[in-house]
Amino acid sequence: MARKDFDPDTVQPDGRPPARAVLFDPAKPGAWRGSVPGEALDGPVTVLAYGNDTPGEGPRLHVHPYDETFVVVAGRARFFVGDEVIEAGVGEVVLGPKGVPHRFENLGPGRLQTIDIHHSPRWIQTDLD
């Protein structure tokens, strides 16, 4: 399906060059495998890679002053976002709205791997537990 959502002649490049950064080393152990701040790419979002092999394990409850989008790329997760509980699997996306405390855990079996997109050029977080 061809898309034409806007007229390319109406958008002018802002002069930024393409950029590249390493998000994670696949051989590195541990749950937090890496992050790339948007500032490093001169972009508006920060990208994190998270993964663990232990059901019930995940990041602690925390909050951000911006939205966070989670993409599940392996396994299943249970997200706690404010008063809501959302289960998500491979290929699904969950939004954590700004100012709303959230956390998630591996539902198992096996590895949970997420790509977490922080809608900010810097990772800013306050842990609540």
32 domain-assigned:
no
3 domain-assigned:
no
Provide the CATH number for the domain around residue 93.
2.60.120.10
pTM of the model: 0.90
60 domain-assigned:
yes
Other Cβ atoms closer than 10 A to 43: 15
Q: pLDDT 10s per residue in the chain (129 long)?
A: 898 898 989 999 999 999 999 998 877 777 777 899 999 999 999 999 999 999 999 999 999 999 999 999 999 999 999 999 999 999 999 999 999 999 999 999 999 999 999 999 999 999 998
Of 98, 94, 101, the closest CA to residue 71 belongs to 94
36 domain-assigned:
no
